[in-house]
Chain A
Amino acid sequence: MSVLTLRLAGPLQSWGANARFSRRTTESAPTKSAVIGMLAAAVGVERGDDTRLAPIAALRYGVRIDQPGIRMRDFHTAHHAVTGKAMPLSERFYLADAVFVAALEGDYTLLADLHSALRNPVYPPFLGRRSCPPSRPVELDLHREGTLEQALRSTPWQASSWHKRQHRPGADIHLTVLREARPEEVDAANTLRDQPLSFAPEHRRHALRSVISDSVRFTHSLERRAVARHDPFDAFDAAEEKSA
């Protein structure tokens, strides 16, 4: 199996799984439907083209929470652009300053297509909402061999440096991994309705998906940016040795 890893980092992200009506909540990690939607958009699958969507949606999905971020509430008012009428008041929730590593496991040729599409996308990627652009390139790595679990264990910690500095060097870091359950694990799994079936604008459909919550452990090594030693008196001794 091959694995494609993505880095989802941006000032604001919003990952709704059961966001309906005027209260638009966010999950604490990217949903499968959002990431599959982003990849499908990158290769240019139109909404409603369910046959082209199906192989992408069949990829096994997992995500690692590298930097959880802070949940933010936005009280949202808007007026209709044409009629000028007030739109319903809504609450929208975002994750601020979060970083995730998402991994997709499946066939190599499909993943390689998605990987190159992310570098030259038909529709640009965004982090859950159109108003949440990624702050760094989304595509991270393409592993020809390996499993989703291995990729999420081996990918370095992607948190920003200020977040890393809050942890003591040498400390054990546990990062939560939310991955799709294997058949034998289904009993222990939670379910989330974010397995996309159709993104058709008139009727979006999602199936239930079993999610296992796991964690990976890192030993945190802080790379210090120390100023190098520089003592001009060293030069005197070196020069004297040379001439002696």
Chain B
Amino acid sequence: MFLTRFRVNTARSSSRRILGSPQIMHAAVMSCFPALLPSDAPPPGGPRILWRADHTSRAEVILYIVSPGRPDLTHLVEQAGWPAAATPIAPGWETRAYSPFLDRLQTGDRWAFRLTANPVHHVRRKDDEPTKRTAHVTPAHQMGWLLQRQESAGFRILERSAGQPLMSSVGASSGPTHPGNAYELAVHSKRDLVFAKRPQNGSPVGNKAPVQIVAVTFDGHLEVTDPARLRTVLTQGIGRAKAYGCGLLTLVPIRTGE
């Protein structure tokens, strides 16, 4: 497994084209793997290619890719990086082996995490109706979605110590039972992604509804409860829309005093 970091040059118009559509970014990420053919389907239950674009500020967009194979981002450097600054030693992206880190994960380890995900649930509006996939819209429901998955994902989101409220006490949904007050967990950067899906070979043109995804970013602190399960989650992702920049969970050391 490999983890790759690529800084997007947001001053370029081609970067905006790539960042503007998860469909185009997906194609660009998948093209990083010389051994992967478009006809190859990802093995069910096996590791897959995950990516996430962190928009920290206007000029700071970092693309992270987790992949089973070593990627080649030359085309991304050419289209959305700094090609003239690239050297054989620093080609414009950094790739490091992920497996040694994954193997060192132990029960009881505490990490800060970030996850961009597509929290959805299935609803039935009438009794005789098939269920329909629907996005979670409020931060409380989005947090609830992640809290529901934490046990099967092999980690536990840490409780917030008393006396440091994160959310304001104003508003009906933010009482003491609000998950935002109970856990070291924040939801931010909600994005409503709507984009047209290009017609596949042989499929009729122009009758496809656009893809609609609600993507949110979770930041929080977790404790590893089952390293094997967490390893699976780190390499296979959480939730839906994994092709479109959702589901990649990353860990960093908890910095004290922040």
Contact = CB atoms under 8 A, between A and B. Distances in A.
A234 interface: yes
A136 B170 contact: yes
A227 B57 CA distance: 8
B177 to A, nearest CB: 20
A137 B5 CA distance: 47
A203 to B, nearest CB: 40
A236 B82 CA distance: 26
Contact of A235 (B55, B57, B94, B111): B111
A239 B109 CA distance: 11
Given A136-B170, A227-B56, A243-B104, A233 B112 contact: no
A230 B253 contact: no
Interface residues of A, number: 16
Interface in B20-64: 54-57, 62, 64
Nearest to A136: B170
Contacts of A230: 54, 112, 114, 219, 250, 252
Contacts of A136: 170
Nearest to B54: A230
B251 A235 contact: yes
B253 A238 contact: yes
Contact of B251 (A227, A228, A232, A242): A232
Interface in A189-244: 227-236, 238-239, 242-243
Contacts of B112: 230
Nearest to A243: B104
Contact of A232 (B56, B64, B100, B170): B64
A112 to B, nearest CB: 21
A230 B251 CA distance: 8
Contacts of B100: 236, 239
B56 to A, nearest CB: 5
Interface in B134-173: 170
A239 B250 contact: no
Interface in B175-202: 188-189
A32 B55 CA distance: 49
A11 to B, nearest CB: 16
A232 B252 contact: yes
Contact of A234 (B54, B55, B64, B252): B252
A230 B253 CA distance: 9
B258 A232 contact: no
B258 A228 contact: yes
Nearest to B103: A239
Contacts of B104: 239, 242-243
Contacts of A243: 104
B147 to A, nearest CB: 20
B253 A233 contact: no
Contacts of A233: 3, 5, 94, 96
A231 B252 contact: yes
Given A235-B253, A238-B253, A228 B219 contact: yes
Interface string A113-151: 000000000000000000000001100000000000000
Given A233-B96, A235-B252, A239-B104, 15 more contacts: A136-B170, A227-B57, A227-B219, A228-B219, A230-B219, A231-B5, A232-B251, A233-B5, A233-B94, A234-B252, A234-B253, A235-B250, A235-B251, A236-B100, A236-B101
